Chain A
Amino acid sequence: MLETTWFILWGVLWSVYFMLDGYDLGLGPLLPFLAKNDTERRIIHRAMGPFWDGNEVWLITAGGVTFAAFPTTYAMMFSSLYSALMLILFALIFRGVALAFRGEVDNPRWKAFWDGCLVVGSFLPALLFGVAFANIFRGLPIDAAGIYRGNLFTLLNPYGLLGGVLFVCLFLVHGSLWLAVKTAGALQARAGAMAGRLWPVLLVVAAMFLLGTRTQTPLFNNYQARPVLLLIPTLAVASLIYTYVLIRRAAWWQAWFASSLTIVSITLFGVVGLYPNLFPSSLAPAASLTAFNSASSPLTLKIMLGVALTFVPLVIAYQTWVHFLFKDKVTEQDVTYDEGY
């Protein structure tokens, strides 16, 4: 029971991370396509400014919770996915630094360099998180001794790549909707149009992913065993479609929420299908790491549950307050003074 609770919490933390960091990871690669001049680029930066760092802490928490609740999975998962994870970490370094350093020197080439870093540094994590999770859904070549028999390129199989493309598309739509929420005028119109153009692509990719999941992974076994769980993928499909309805109505806040729900429910769809596995082996089923054989001791799980149930709601409360505090649209005036300050 304790293990299952933690498994659910683990899935929820990752899905909240993807939902929150998803909009700034998605907005990064769109920078050159949405902004026509430096002021607009600065507005896009400012649209993420007060939020991206707080969003990224969800990654640290998701990673930390994997370590605390399922240390064996943390050890196996992170060492097996070594190269992919290092690429993600370096990309996140470049992205974070780009957001912090861009405004510090008033030189077009300096700014162009950091804009490039923001694009690549946002795109790569989006892609690789998708690739990593799709491979986990599919199972990884781990031998009976618990050693990963593969490398970075093993992960880049068709289904893995499909997962990567799915995450990229989800985040791009999510990011353009966030920009539509945070801006007005021409930039908002461009962001909204971008979301509208990207949505059909996302729909096709999502449909392919669903099909791929059916043929390439055992995820649907859990759903066949308990059909009531099919509510989750149903919710994912419904919120994805409703996102488009809201985009057409130019109801940006609502569309962003629908898109958030899509990301959360797609992640949970995968996680629920995975249960009780956390890091399944495709070579030796006995070597699969599950919520039960890789969990911490009951004492640690109990203490951490207390910590999580006390502090995570508190974090959600003050981060919601921050989003509310900075809910106003970013204007040209905001960025023409001292940048980032």
Chain B
Amino acid sequence: MDVLMLSRLQFAGATFFHFLFVPLTLGLSILIAIMETVYVRTGDQDYRRMARFWGKIFIINFAVGVVTGITLEFQFGTNWARYSKYVGDIFGSLLAIEATLAFFLESTFLAVWIFGWKRLSPKLHCLCIWLVAFASSMSALWIPIANAWMQHPVGFVLRNGRAELSDFLAVVTQPFAFQIFFHTVSGAYILGGFFVMGVSAYHLLRQQETAFFTKSFRLALTFALIFAVAAVVQGHIHGAEVAKLQPTKLAAMEALWDTQANAPQVLFLIPDEKNERNLVEWGKIPGALSLLAYHSSQATVKGLKDFSPEDRPPVALTFVAFRVMVGLGFLFVLLTVVGWFKRRNLEASPGYLKIMLYAIPLPYLALQAGWIVTEVGRQPWIVYGLMRTKDAVSPIATSQVAISLAAFILVYSALGVLAFYLIGKQARRGPEPLAAAAGQGEES
């Protein structure tokens, strides 16, 4: 393998691993903030214990997210030097803004929240976790703004042999960025909700702390339901934007080879990339794809054959990932709607609780699949239509990247196992007894 392939594997692996932890940070921080707010407003000790119990899991998860995030920022320089040089004028500033505006706030106030239970008034303490939640969602805004620029570069001119910023507002306010932002955070909020529901289901099935976990479950259910529905609706709008701005990505998502008006949505198909066709096509709904993408069943949708092979993304991977994401998205709506009708008597539905316990990994899968669609579907471009991935890599020795990739695989595997072991351990242990939470627990 060459530097390019090794660097791609390394960046993909490091990003996906990082994003195993980021969504829970995004979703859980808001849930914890809501829990603590309820405690501050009602004085219900259960909600204080809830904030502390879920907070412990949050801290473990957050630490891994932080340490794996730093490597990402630096990899643009180490492995993608040509990219950094070419677009740093725009892309670099977005990353720097994220650090100064959001990440400082998040890291600093999380520490205050962790160590400040006794030093701060309940209101001020609660404000800290809201700041953490706000800052992490702010991070999740600036990174998608940067990513959206790679998907659909705007507000720049080609000058001095590179892309230079010409219109900052165009970059930070382009609608596509907000589509990516909203889709990412709603996915993350679903994940946070499903995580809390799953862990609560585990305890409810064992009849431990039922009041505590019923409250947790219901709060998470409402939260996940809202964003599951929102993600589907907004996902549709998002898809229509992709059709407009990134036609090759849309064609790959749907494995559509021939340009056609009245393009059908095929319910089941197996793409055959080599022969530029699909092996099996089953369940065609005529005009549905045109309708979904362009809001008119007569609209023409461009097929992959319209683009020369070197401009096409990998089809099978993009297609499968998209199907997985969409399928899971609908499943999340189904599961949360069912839960809504069972919410008043959760313990009477052990079957549902068991499903929710085993559903914990599903939003993780959906989010990873979504990023595969976004990033693999953008190939062969690193900046869509502007710079190819193969032109972006650093002029460095293959051995260096091979060694660092091996180290990433080794360290991240161990770290992943450990992190999820500790999160699981903490989740199974359950909350601290009421007396401890109210009394000595405050000390530290």
Select which of B52, B69, B444 is within 8 A of A337 by beta carbon.
B444
B164: interface (CB < 8 Å): yes
Q: Are B112 and A89 in contact (CB under 8 A)?
A: no
Contact of B67 among A61, A92, A339 (CB under 8 A): A92
**Cβ A78 vs Cβ B74 within 8 A:** yes
Chain A residues near B121 (CB-CB < 8 A): none
Contact A297-B89, Cβ < 8 Å, known A82-B396, A333-B443: yes
Question: Which residues from A are CB-within-8-Å of B117?
Answer: 341
Shortest C-beta distance, B128 to chain A (Å), equals: 10
Q: Does any Cβ of A come within 8 Å of B275's Cβ?
A: no
Determine the distance from Cα of A147 to Cα of B52 in the docked complex, in whole angstroms.
52
Query: Is B409 part of the binding interface, using a Cβ–Cβ cutoff of 8 Å?
Result: no
Q: Are B407 and A86 in contact (CB under 8 A)?
A: yes
**A101 and B422 form a contact (CB under 8 A):** yes
Interface centre among B93, B109, B440 (most CB of A within 10 A): B93
The smallest beta-carbon distance between A35 and chain B, in angstroms, is 18
> Is A97's CB under 8 angstroms from B67's CB?
yes
B99 near A300: Cβ-Cβ < 8 Å: no
Interface string of B135-169 (1 = CB under 8 A from A): 00000000000000000000000011010111010
Q: Total number of A-B contacts with CB less than 8 angstroms? A: 236
B90, A67: Cβ atoms closer than 8 Å: no
**A5 vs chain B, min Cβ distance (A):** 15
Could you mark each residue 307-326 of chain B with 1 if its beta carbon is under 8 Å from any beta carbon of chain A, else 0? 00000000000000000000
User: Do B93 and A54 have beta carbons less than 8 Å apart?
Assistant: no
Chain A at the B interface: mostly helix, strand, loop or mixed? Answer: helix
**How many of chain A's residues touch chain B, expressed as a range?**
35 or more
With a CB–CB cut-off of 8 A, which chain A residues contact B104?
54, 57, 61, 311, 315, 319
Among the listed B89, B112, B396, which residue makes an inter-chain contact with A71, where contact means beta carbons less than 8 Å apart? Answer: B89
Question: In the complex where A299-B165, A322-B112 touch, is A57 in contact with B63 (Cβ < 8 A)?
Answer: no
Binary per-residue interface labels of chain B (12-52) against chain A in the complex, 1 for a CB within 8 Å, 0 otherwise: 00000000000000000000000000000000000000001
B298 partner residues in chain A, CB cutoff 8 A: none
B-side interface residues toward A, CB under 8 Å? 52, 55-56, 59-60, 63-64, 66-71, 73-74, 76-79, 81-82, 84-85, 87-93, 95-101, 103-105, 107-112, 114-117, 119-120, 159-160, 162, 164-166, 168, 394-397, 400-401, 403-404, 407, 411, 415, 418, 422, 425-426, 432, 440-441, 443-444
Interface contacts beyond A86-B404, A296-B88: sample of 7 additional A-B pairs, CB < 8 Å, sorted by A: A60-B69, A63-B77, A65-B96, A75-B84, A97-B415, A304-B93, A337-B440
Interchain residue pairs with CB less than 8 A apart (24): A56-B66, A57-B103, A57-B107, A60-B70, A64-B92, A71-B84, A72-B88, A75-B82, A79-B394, A93-B70, A96-B63, A96-B67, A97-B63, A100-B59, A100-B64, A101-B422, A151-B400, A296-B92, A307-B93, A319-B108, A337-B440, A340-B444, A341-B59, A341-B114
